[in-house]
Amino acid sequence: MELIKDILYNTDKILKDFYNWAYKLWSSFNLPFFILDIVFYLLITLAVAAFLVFNALFIIYYDRKVAAKFQVRYGPNRVGYKGILQTVADTIKLLIKEDINADKVDKIVFFLAPFLVFIPSFLVFLVIPFGKGLIPADLNIGILYVLAITGLSVLGILSAGWASNNKYSLIGGMRSAAQIISYEIPMVLVILSVLLLSGSLKMGDIINAQSSISKWFIFVQPIGFILFLIAGNAEINRAPFDLPEAESELVSGFITEYSAMKFAFFFLAEYTNLFLTSAIATTLFLGGWQGPFLPPFVWFIIKTYLVITLLMWFRWTFPRIRVDHLMEFSWKYLTPIAFVNLIATAILVKFI
């Protein structure tokens, strides 16, 4: 009983004890220590990968159910209890489908692109604080690492669009790159204003700076939170900003030519990015894993899923905006507001 409570509430201490115990055990065998370290890193990676896959499976089901609620229909309800296994069945279908390569595609880049999109979203999990001490590595440059790595996925999207050798795919890829670069600016400015308050790039320090509910940055930075949600939603190419794959104009954008496993990778990356954006919003604005009574991990998941629900609400409420409006919205409205927000925050931090 005591142990279960400790595992839930003092995860950092338990992990440290476990590591020390393994270290002692290992030294009695007289083997080199780097093998033990590698084993630990592999375990962490496996845990994160398992979480990523199951989480994505659930989010897809959840998204479809939310969509169904908004459109007053049932949604998936055949496989398993209330259709909960629907996404599992879909995944198996995607895995065993034939992998079609169109004739005129650029073979190498066409093959690489899904990985270039997926690997960055996997790498970002390195600095996601799931709970007290439940962070794979609390880097000093935490949030900067997130920005740098998420920027890499544009490369994959552009490559997918170009390698498909298809005008719709190419336009989709180009739109996506333009969109991600444009919305990165307000996003970075908002993150900068949060950093002015926390005084550190480290995820742990950002969470510690929001130690009580009145100090949560959503109350100090309400405009920042809204801007972050809009820009974050645009960065992950979701409606109303899903122009890169606007099905009514571009068939399916940069993923038109992809099928089976490769398509599954794009899909997985999309929903993982949705989770990551919400997780980062939780960390930056909602106090991360902090909360009363429940274990930190549970709080983190609850808050993240609240943000995910909010983003899904956006998706099913707003119509897709036009491509020139999209650019105007970022450069003429979001960026100036973010700048004013940043300067106001700087003045507040300096003089109050």
Partner 1 sequence: MTSLVFFYIFAVLIVISAIFMVTSRNIYYSALWLALTLFAVAGIFVLLNAYFLAGIQVLIYIGAVVVLTIFVINLTKEIEGKTEKQFNKQTIPALLALLTGIVLVVLAVLKTDWASRIAGWTNYDETAKIGNLLLNDFVIPFEAASVLLLIALIGAIAIVSLDKENK
Residue with Cβ nearer partner 1 (102 or 302) = 102
In whole angstroms, how close is the CB of 126 to partner 1 at the nearest point?
12
CA distance 351 to 262: 53
Query: By C-beta, is 145 or 299 nearer to partner 1?
Result: 145
Contact footprint for partner 1 (CB under 8 A): 34, 106, 108-109, 112, 139-141, 144-145, 147-149, 151-152, 154-155, 158-159, 161-162, 170, 173-174, 177-178, 181, 184, 201
Separation CA 40–CA 22 (nearest Å): 10
Which of 87, 335 has the CB closer to partner 1? 335
Q: What distances in angstroms separate CA 19 from CA 6, 39, 131, 201, 301, one per listed residue?
A: 15, 11, 18, 27, 25
Count each helix (H run) and each strand (E run) in the chain, helices first.
15, 0
30-57: buried (b, 16+ CB within 10 Å) or exposed (e) per residue?
Answer: eeeeeebeeeeeeeeeeebeeebeebbb
Q: Which is nearer to partner 1, 7 or 123 (CB)?
A: 123
Q: Would you give the DSSP letter of residue 127?
A: G
For the bound state, the minimum distance from the C-beta of residue 346 to partner 1, rounded and expressed in Å, comes to 13
Least distance CB 134 / partner 1 (angstroms): 21
Please identify, using beta-carbon distances, which residue of 170 and 220 lies nearer to partner 1.
Answer: 170
Q: How far is the CB of 262 from partner 1 (least distance, A)?
A: 17
Could you tell me the smallest distance in angstroms from the CB atom of residue 180 to partner 1?
A: 8
Minimum separation from the CB atom of position 345 to partner 1 (A): 16
Contact partners, residue 344, CB within 8 Å, separation at least 6:
none
Positive or negative: CA dihedral 75, 77, 79, 85: positive
DSSP track, 272-294: HHHHHHHHHHHHHHS-TT--SSS
- CA angle at residue 303 from 122 to 138, to 5 degrees? 45
Q: What is the distance between the alpha carbons of residues 308 and 272, in angstroms, rounded to a whole number?
A: 11
Rounded distance between C-alpha atoms, residue 254 and residue 144, angstroms: 27
Closest CB 43 distance from partner 1, rounded Å: 19
* Other C-beta atoms lying within 10 Å of the C-beta of residue 88: 15
The values of phi and psi at residue 351, to 5°, are: -105, -10
User: For residues 85 and 174, which CB has a smaller minimum distance to partner 1 in the complex?
Assistant: 174
With respect to partner 1, which residue has the nearer C-beta, 2 or 324? 324
DSSP classification of residue 319: P
In the complex, what is the shortest distance from the CB of residue 333 to partner 1, in angstroms, rounded to a whole number? 19
Q: 199 or 222, CB closer to partner 1?
A: 199
